[in-house]
Amino acid sequence: MDTKSAANSGVPSVTHLIHHPYQAPGDFEAPQPGVFKASTVYFPSVAAMRQREWKDKTAYTYGLHGTPTSYLLEERLCALEGGEQCLLVPSGLAALSTVALATLKVGDEVLLPDNAYGPNKALAEGELKAFGITHQFYDPMQVEDLALRITARTRLVWLEAPGSVSMEFPDLLAMVRLCREHKVLCALDNTWGAGLSFQPFDLMGDGALGVDISAHALTKYPSGGGDVLMGSIMTRDAALHLKIKLCHMRLGLGVGANDVEAVLRSLPSLGIRYQAQSQAGMTLAHWWSAQSPCVQVLHPAWPDAPGHAHWKALNRATGHPGSAAGLFSVMLDPRLSSEQVDAFCDELRYFKIGYSWGGPVSLVVPYNIQSMRNGWPSHLKPGYLVRFSMGLEDPQDLIADLAQSLHKHLTL
């Protein structure tokens, strides 16, 4: 009896709910790719199981090692950032920690910019320190300061452009050159640039200079919904990729197929969302520059902002002139009180109070720079820093919202 008649005749069996001969026709094409979910993957024979190789992405062995769905997102992200190999991890922070764990060992030192994403600094001060890996924080706006801190023990330099929260854009070109000269691995947190504002692996557009590793919080722009946590680790070196991939495998890091699907669904609109949020950010930065409680606009595309020329030099090499994400901060007059600044944030209606960025809803967070940095940075004016993340609302409505709260709470 063949399995088909077995499934359709005689006493119904639950086995036929599991082992059923029907196969849907294969040639199906639609705008969104299918979603493959698996821990177990079948092999046609024991011999095939023993032979199958998972490291080079030519086959499947186990859900953690990749599915058609995860491979697809990895390849599309390579196209976005100009990388050759990509690994997905469960969050942006997991991308940062996996890079550290894969490349550092006891006795090594890692250098981070003083304006780095806070949890990356905390990782260095916590787990890495406990594992016998030391760290130093360098001044992101002084290439000489980074140069002075590189020693024979330096194995990894983190770069962030611009820095989280205070938004100053470093001289990435000079820093990557410096790492090359010292043969030190350099890894960029590329969440803000997202592969659009500048090209991490080809900074000048002539193929001459790029970072070794780009870590990206897909949670932000690639997701675009404020509803997915995911990260990626991108390289252009097969040996370095394999080193990170083996660590990634041993740590047991995997991503859910439904989350991958959500990012795949958002990727087609990434370019226009990034551009729109970038333009909205500049419109609001321009508005802020004319408001008396604002003493400094911190936005890489703003001409007077710290590091503007560094951003501009890299942005020129892309096909997206002016693209600068939808994230910026303002420094508010130090004569205000912190209570006034908090009340200003509380009073906003369209801007929600919350972390993260890149989603459809505009966000606001006041930050205490004093507690985040090793001394007050000389390029920042004294005051209260408030960070804004552009959603997809009409910028004029956002300005009206800022104005109503500003007039109520930010009076000097």
Ligand X SMILES: *Cc1c(COP(=O)(O)O)cnc(C)c1O
Q: Where do contacts with ligand X occur on this chain (CB under 6 A)?
A: 91-93, 117, 164, 189, 191, 217, 219-220, 229, 231, 356
What's the sign of the alpha-carbon dihedral 188, 85, 317, 216? negative
Residue 134 is classified by DSSP as: E
Q: Which is nearer to ligand X, 220 or 409 (CB)?
A: 220
| Sequence-distant (≥ 6) Cβ neighbours of residue 339 within 8 angstroms | none
Tokens of 176: 């990557």
Residue 12: is it exposed, middle or buried by C-beta count within 10 angstroms (0-12/13-18/19+)?
Answer: exposed
Residue 102: is it exposed, middle or buried by C-beta count within 10 angstroms (0-12/13-18/19+)?
Answer: buried
Which residue is closest to ligand X by CB? 92
Q: Which is nearer to ligand X, 92 or 224 (CB)?
A: 92
State in angstroms the smallest separation of the CB of 320 from ligand X.
Answer: 19
Q: Which is nearer to ligand X, 266 or 405 (CB)?
A: 266
Q: Smallest Cα–Cα separation from 139: which of 384, 313, 378, 385?
A: 378
What region, left, alpha or beta, does residue 143 occupy, with left being phi > 0 and alpha being psi -120 to 50 degrees?
alpha
Tokens of 286: 């321009």
State in angstroms the smallest separation of the CB of 91 from ligand X.
Answer: 3
State in angstroms the smallest separation of the CB of 258 from ligand X.
Answer: 16
Q: Which is nearer to ligand X, 122 or 403 (CB)?
A: 122
Which amino acid is present at 34? Answer: G
State in angstroms the smallest separation of the CB of 377 from ligand X.
Answer: 18
State in angstroms the smallest separation of the CB of 44 from ligand X.
Answer: 38
CB-based burial, 161-179: b 16+ in 10 Å, e otherwise: bbbbbbbbbbbbbebbbbb
Strand, helix or coil at 396? helix
Q: Which is nearer to ligand X, 253 or 410 (CB)?
A: 253
Q: Which is nearer to ligand X, 275 or 356 (CB)?
A: 356
Q: Which is nearer to ligand X, 111 or 229 (CB)?
A: 229
State in angstroms the smallest separation of the CB of 160 from ligand X.
Answer: 6
CA distance 80 to 65: 22
Tokens of 204: 């000048």
Tokens of 342: 């908090």
CA distance 66 to 78: 16
State in angstroms the smallest separation of the CB of 206 from ligand X.
Answer: 27
Tokens of 355: 């972390």
Q: Which is nearer to ligand X, 172 or 410 (CB)?
A: 172
CA distance 412 to 405: 14
State in angstroms the smallest separation of the CB of 297 from ligand X.
Answer: 20
Q: Which is nearer to ligand X, 135 or 220 (CB)?
A: 220
State in angstroms the smallest separation of the CB of 231 from ligand X.
Answer: 6
Strand, helix or coil at 137? strand
Phi and psi at 389, nearest 5°, equal -120, 125
CB 112 within 8 A of CB 158: yes
